[in-house]
Structure 1
Amino acid sequence: MQLISKPLGRYPKPTSNYLPGNLVCFSHLRWDFVFQRPQHLLTRLAKIRNVFYVEEPVISDTEIPYYAYTSRGTQLTVVTPQLPKGLSITASLKIQKRLFDEFMTGHVVNDYGFWYYTPMALEFSRGYRPEITVFDCMDELSAFKFAPESIKTLEKELLQTADVVFTGGYSLFEAKKNQHNNIHAFPSSIDKPHFLKARELKNAKANKAARLGFYGVIDERFDIELIRNIAELRPDWDIILVGPVVKIDPATLPVNKNIKYLGSRTYAKLPELIADWDIALIPFLLNESTRFISPTKTPEYLAAGLPVISTAIEDVINPYGKYGLVSIGNNAKDFLSLAEQELQRDDRKEWLQKVDFFLAHNSWDETCEGMMAVMNNMIKSTQIVYNTIAHS
């Protein structure tokens, strides 16, 4: 199969920028939790526009609810609702609505767009008329553990409201393409210069033990038994797990002398951390919560020069597995057999050239430019329609 590398050529750079001066983003992810898709895109958009990143509420000892504002750059502000304990759902939403209305009155009177990662924010942001409404659908949130029952209904409403819909992968695009007439797939990208540092930092190891690593959120999607079995079958290999443990009981995680839990690490430290790994893992379960995921770590691992072994996640198989860039395994024995092959690979230089060719046009810069082009075209076409009606 011929390897291809192509830019987002179907989204040319706009000659004019029609984006509103202020973008208000609603997210289910904390800005300082794990640096991923929202942070990559919005830090770039904040170079040309004011960005307000509205998080989900924090329940605290405060008696008076308020918005906490934290600067993350000249034009990027994280907005975190602080709510008192003991509120009912109805009371909480009422307060969030009041706080948001006060925020809009005080900060974003006009010239604004809405950017949603979570449909749940519709419950307090309805009724406004932004110049553009974007739904960047990075996951099938309704399939996640502890997802609110109302999220499916609210997503349908958001799909009817949004001017533009982006998806975080091709499988998610295929699942939703008939639900909107302006939907575009923008899969996970990479900050290549950042992860190329891992290649520069890589040193010859003093010991012979292979090091298999994973970084990311360790949650209900993580295949605990797969890791347990790999560790037991190869006790002379080290397994490094980096990231916060959420939504699952840490006591259920496998414990073995060759499994190292390092906890959370900053995005800036990742290249240095993974430079000592021999192989990177994507050990996700195959279930409803992983059916449409497009792991950002896949191209990041590859950019770092690491061989990757993954379970059969659709957006990893296509395109990475299809082009022989990532190995796909179904169980611990598969993973170990594939790892042995990678450790004995004698064509590493040619493999890296293949990886680099494939990733040549994969970058968050190009992804952000492509999204901006779609948004600009939408706003421009709407303005043309309005002007035509006004002068008819």
Structure 2
Amino acid sequence: MPKKILIAAANYWNSTYQVGSHHYGRIFAKNGWEVLFVSDPISPIHFLARRDEQLKERYKIYKGLYENDIKNVKAYVPMALITPNEKPVFNTGFVARHWHNLTVPNVVRYAREAGFGEVDILWLDSISQKFWIDSINYKRSIIRISDRLDAFKKINKNMKKLEKELMDKADFILYTARSLESYVSKNKQKSFFIPNGVDINNFINSTKKMPGDMQAIPAPRAVYVGAIDEWFDTELLFEVAGKLSEVSFILIGSPNIDINKLKKRSNIYLLGRKKYSDIPKYLYNCDAGIIPFKKAHPVVNSVNPIKLYEYMICGLPPVATEWEELKLLESPAYLARNVEEFENLLRLALKDMDREKFINFARLNTWEERFKKIIYLCNNYPNISANKY
């Protein structure tokens, strides 16, 4: 009989922002597990406030009308009368702890009827879904920490309290960055460092045909893929693009910040969101990958960027702002401390013909390797500690 895992995640299954929880969902499924992937809820109030594409996609998953090419993954987005967020009333402890009781249909009953009332692993990647740890039966419970909650402006004290309770109650904690070690130190005996990785098959088996919206963009091309949020250093990119007018800078992702200044540079191209399955062909037709983050932003220092490995598996030399976690990785990426270094290192990266060193580093950091370590932990719990792992 197949083993089962319930993954509680913040982002919905077919989101363009594929993070660790999505990759683990696919890896567990690939290894014969049945997966229920439950993302954070939507509510009727969302539809009053906006009607964007992401909301439509989440609603389709709620109704079971989504496309999924992995037969043993079942995705779900709960519909709740009220959902936790940073606004008054919605940011209360009551909403944080009890929104799941106001879902239609009841999300716990849905999981049980789907055959996930008892699972081998309960995987918690979303603090908003703490309720699962008291609602279903499981052999192992895991909370995965990939960021410091206190680094986000919109996170309130109620969510921080839920996270603390989860870390105390879960069988073990996985953290993705060495710089998060102090963050989980209260539970250090059951905390294990499992960094992010790369889905080799998604990139190696992809077409390398140039996408239509890239054909008019001249080479050499430096690409960024991912969230364009408050930690994205628009000023740095603006300055570097000005100094390297011969380089085309391509941004793939939806901006959540003001990027009007970037539009003033004729060599910066904003291509918007793309499907995860389409990302490889964009990378294969570029010459370098960039990660221009604000080093001083509190989110950044605990980031172990998936895009770093994805650039490398495509043979792209990454050029990134230097922060502590990237230094600890000891990867062949180029790390810049300021605008001048970013400019000079990008020049070097574009001339770097030894692409194999990047590919080889990525091959050592696959999601499959991470999966094997997690299964080992599960099989040997509780007779293993972080000190011996």
The TM-score bracket by the shorter chain reads: 0.7 to 0.9
3-state SS of paired residue (1:362): coil
1:70-104 residue CA offsets vs partner (Å, 9 max, x unmatched)? 57332211111123479953468545225233224
1:103 counterpart (92, 105, 110): 110
Cα displacement (A) at 1:121: 1.4
1:77 counterpart (66, 70, 74): 74
1:371 alignment counterpart: 374
1:55 alignment counterpart: 39
In structure 1, how many angstroms separate the alpha carbons of the residues matched to 2:83 and 2:327? 46
Unpaired stretches in structure 1, ≥5 consecutive residues: 1-16, 382-392
Structure 1 residues 126 and 209: CA distance shift in structure 2, 3 A: same
Give the letter for the 2:23 counterpart.
Answer: H
Structure 1 residues 124 and 369: CA distance shift in structure 2, 3 A: closer
1:228 alignment counterpart: 238
The reply to whether residue 189 of structure 1 matches residue 197 of structure 2 is yes
State how 1:1-392 maps to structure 2 within 5 Å: 21-33=3-15, 34-47=17-30, 48-60=32-44, 68-69=63-64, 72=68, 73-84=70-81, 88-89=89-90, 90=94, 94-97=98-101, 99-107=106-114, 108-123=116-131, 126=134, 128-173=136-181, 175-196=183-204, 209-246=219-256, 248-251=257-260, 254-286=263-295, 287-321=297-331, 325-345=332-352, 348=353, 351-378=354-381
1:237-295 residue CA offsets vs partner (Å, 9 max, x unmatched)? 2110001223x345465532111000111122122112222221011111211120100
3-state SS of paired residue (1:131): strand
1:269-326 residue CA offsets vs partner (Å, 9 max, x unmatched)? 12211222222101111121112010001121111111111101222222245xxx11
Quick check: 166-175 or 74-83, which moved more?
166-175
Cα displacement (A) at 1:380: 8.6
Q: TM-score, normalised by structure 2?
A: 0.79
Cα displacement (A) at 1:214: 0.5
Structure 1 residues 144 and 97: CA distance shift in structure 2, 3 A: same
Structure with bigger RCO (C-alpha 8 Å, 6+ apart): 1
How many residues align? The count is 352
Alignment root-mean-square deviation, CA:
3.3
3-state SS of paired residue (1:188): coil
2:52 alignment counterpart: none
Quick check: 159-168 or 24-33, which moved more?
24-33
Give the letter for the 1:264 counterpart.
Answer: R
3-state SS of paired residue (1:301): helix
Contact map agreement 1:132 1:379 (CA 8 A) in 2: no
In structure 2, how many angstroms separate the alpha carbons of the residues matched to 1:200 and 1:178? 47
Contact map agreement 1:172 1:293 (CA 8 A) in 2: no
In structure 1, how many angstroms separate the alpha carbons of the residues matched to 2:117 and 2:139? 12
Structure 1 residues 85 and 251: CA distance shift in structure 2, 3 A: farther
In structure 1, how many angstroms separate the alpha carbons of the residues matched to 2:216 and 2:173? 50
Structure 1 residues 339 and 259: CA distance shift in structure 2, 3 A: same
Give the letter for the 1:304 counterpart.
Answer: C
Structure 1 residues 173 and 230: CA distance shift in structure 2, 3 A: same
Contact map agreement 2:118 2:137 (CA 8 A) in 1: no
Give the letter for the 1:312 counterpart.
Answer: E
Contact map agreement 2:225 2:252 (CA 8 A) in 1: yes
In structure 2, how many angstroms separate the alpha carbons of the residues matched to 1:296 and 1:56? 21
In structure 1, how many angstroms separate the alpha carbons of the residues matched to 2:263 and 2:122? 42
Unpaired stretches in structure 2, ≥5 consecutive residues: 49-58, 385-389
Structure 1 residues 222 and 81: CA distance shift in structure 2, 3 A: same
Structure 1 residues 106 and 255: CA distance shift in structure 2, 3 A: same
Contact map agreement 1:59 1:84 (CA 8 A) in 2: yes
Quick check: 356-365 or 309-318, which moved more?
356-365
3-state SS of paired residue (1:309): strand
Cα displacement (A) at 1:52: 1.3
3-state SS of paired residue (1:288): coil
Structure 1 residues 31 and 145: CA distance shift in structure 2, 3 A: farther
Give the letter for the 2:20 counterpart.
Answer: R
Contact map agreement 1:198 1:272 (CA 8 A) in 2: yes
1:1-43 residue CA offsets vs partner (Å, 9 max, x unmatched)? xxxxxxxxxxxxxxxx9xx833222111222221221111111
Contact map agreement 1:115 1:136 (CA 8 A) in 2: yes
Structure 1 residues 137 and 91: CA distance shift in structure 2, 3 A: closer
Structure 1 residues 40 and 54: CA distance shift in structure 2, 3 A: same
3-state SS of paired residue (1:135): strand
Cα displacement (A) at 1:158: 0.8
Identity in percent: 22
1:3 alignment counterpart: none
Give the letter for the 1:362 counterpart.
Answer: N
Contact map agreement 1:160 1:180 (CA 8 A) in 2: no
Contact map agreement 1:311 1:329 (CA 8 A) in 2: yes
Contact map agreement 2:196 2:304 (CA 8 A) in 1: yes
3-state SS of paired residue (1:81): coil
